[in-house]
Amino acid sequence: MRAERSGMMRMRDESTKSAVCSRREFLGGALAAGMGAILPRMSVRAEEGKSLKITRVETFAVSYKTVGRFKFFEDAMGRPTGRPTVVVRITADDGTQGWGQSVPTPKWSYETLETVQTTIERYLAPVLIGRDALDIDGAHAAMNRAIAPSFSTGQPICKAGIDLALWDLAARASGRSVADLWGLRGIRDITMSWTLNPVKLDDIEPLIEEGRRAGYRNFNVKVAPDPKFDIELCRRVKKAAPDGFLWADANGGYDLATALEVIPKLADAGVEVLEQPLPANRLTGYRDIRKLKALPILMDEGLVSSAELEEFIKLGLLDGVAMKPARCGGLTDAKRQIELARRHGLMVLGSGLTDPDISLAASLVLYGAFDLTRPAALNGPQFLQGSILKKPFKVESGRLRVPTGPGLGVEVDPAKIASGP
C-alpha cells in the first residue's frame, strides 16, 4: 500500500539523502538565511555539544469532530466538516522523537490535508533524512530549497508541523522545555478569548452566555462583509461584557471604502483592535486605514514570514501582529516575528487556527515565553472534540496552563492516533 494514498505512516531511509552540496543548494541556503537574517540562527547544536541525525519522518492524518458553528469548518450547506490535521513524528538516530502538527484550513489558506501529506512525503522528508536534527535553521533552508519560498514561505502550514516536531525533539534531547531552550521564563497561564461568529443577531446573547458558562470573560468576533450587522454585533457584545477585551477580525473581508467607513464605528461600538480588515495584498489600503487612527490595525494572513513583517513595518502599514505559529512555518519564524514586532513597539496578540493538541501546545509555549497577557484567540478547545494527548488540555476559568514539561510539554498517545481522537 502506498503511504501517500493511505494517509498512514510515511518515512524515508537515510540512504535517500544526497550528500552533494550543489550551487543550487548553496543559493537556496543563502535565500533562506536572508529571510531569517534578522536574528541569530535557530540551532542548538553548539549549545548541546552533540549532533543528532534525523532517521525517520512520519505523518498521520488525524481529524477532529467540531462542536458549534465555525465558518471555516462547514460545507456549503452549513454542515460541520471536522477539523483536518496532519501529525508529524520525527525520530533521531539515538531514538529521541519529536512531535508536531500541521493544521491545514482550506477556507483560510490554500493548503489542504492532502497537500500537506504529499509535500512531506515527496519533497520534505527526503531532504531532512540524515540532517542534524538540532540545526533547525538548516532544516528550514533545506525545506525552502525543496518547496521554494516564492514571494514568501512556500506551504508554511505544512512546514510548521515539521518545525514543531524539530523543536520538540531538540528540547527533549536536552531534557528541557522549548522555552528553557530559548532561555525564556514567561507567564504560566494564558487568558483565553471566546470566538463569536453568529449567523443572525438573535444568536449573539446565547453564544455569549455559552462562553460565560465555560469561564470566558473576553470575546473575539468575526466581522465582514456586512458593516451594519458587524456594528450591531460589536455593540451587543460590549454591552454584555463591558469589562472584557473585544477583538474584531475581518479575515480580509472588507473592501477599502467599506473599511474606511466602518472602522470608526467599530471603535465607537467598543472594539479595541481590528485584525486584517482588507485582503493581505491591499497594501496601500492599509496605509490609508492607518491614517484614520481610529483603531489599532493588526495583520495576520499577510505575515507569512518575518521578511514581510520587516517590510510592512518600514511602510507603516500596521500597529500589531495577530500571531499564529502555523501561519509562518512554525515556532522558528514566529519567535522572530514577535522579537521584531517588540523592537518596533508593535502590539502582539496570540491567535490560532483552531489548533488542537500539539499545535495548541506550541502556541501556548510561545505566548507564555513572551508574556502575552492580552486574551488569546485560541479557539481549538471551544470548537474541537477529542484529543490525542495522554493528558488533554482543559480550560479553567477562561485560562489555559502553559505546558512546561520536556519539549513542547505534552505527551502524545499513539493509540489515540490509531483509533482517532
Instruction: Write the pLDDT tens digit of every residue in 65-94.
Output: 999 887 888 878 788 888 999 999 999 999
Residue-level pLDDT at 77: 78
Q: What is the pLDDT of residue 140?
A: 96
CA distance 304 to 153: 6
Angle between helix 306-315 and helix 23-35 axes, rounded to 10 deg:
50
Q: What DSSP letter does each residue of 244-290 carry, written as one string?
A: S-EEEE-TT---HHHHHHHHHHHHHTT--EEE--S-TT-HHHHHHHH
Spell out, as residue ranges, where the chain has pLDDT lower than 70.
1-49
In whole angstroms, what is the distance from residue 285 CA to residue 287 CA? 5
User: pLDDT of 382-392, one tens digit each?
Assistant: 999 999 999 99
The domain made up of 3-175 has a fold known as Enolase-like; domain 1 (3.30.390)
Q: How far apart are CA 342 and CA 320, in angstroms?
A: 9
Sequence ranges of the chain with CATH classification 3.30.390.10: 3-175
Predicted local confidence at residue 12, as pLDDT: 37
Tell me if residue 22 falls in helix, strand or coil: coil
CB 97 within 8 A of CB 70: no
DSSP symbol at 7: T
Q: Which residues contact 270 (CB under 8 A, 6 or more apart)?
A: 234, 235, 237, 238, 242, 246
Distance between first and last Cα of the chain: 24
**CA pair distance 47, 379, nearest whole angstrom:** 36
pLDDT score for 41: 53
pLDDT at site 11 = 38
Beta partners for residue 219, in sequence order? 194, 246
In the chain, CATH 3.20.20.120 covers 181-419
Q: Which CATH number describes the domain made up of 181-419? A: 3.20.20.120
Closest CA to 222 of 143, 303, 107, 114: 107
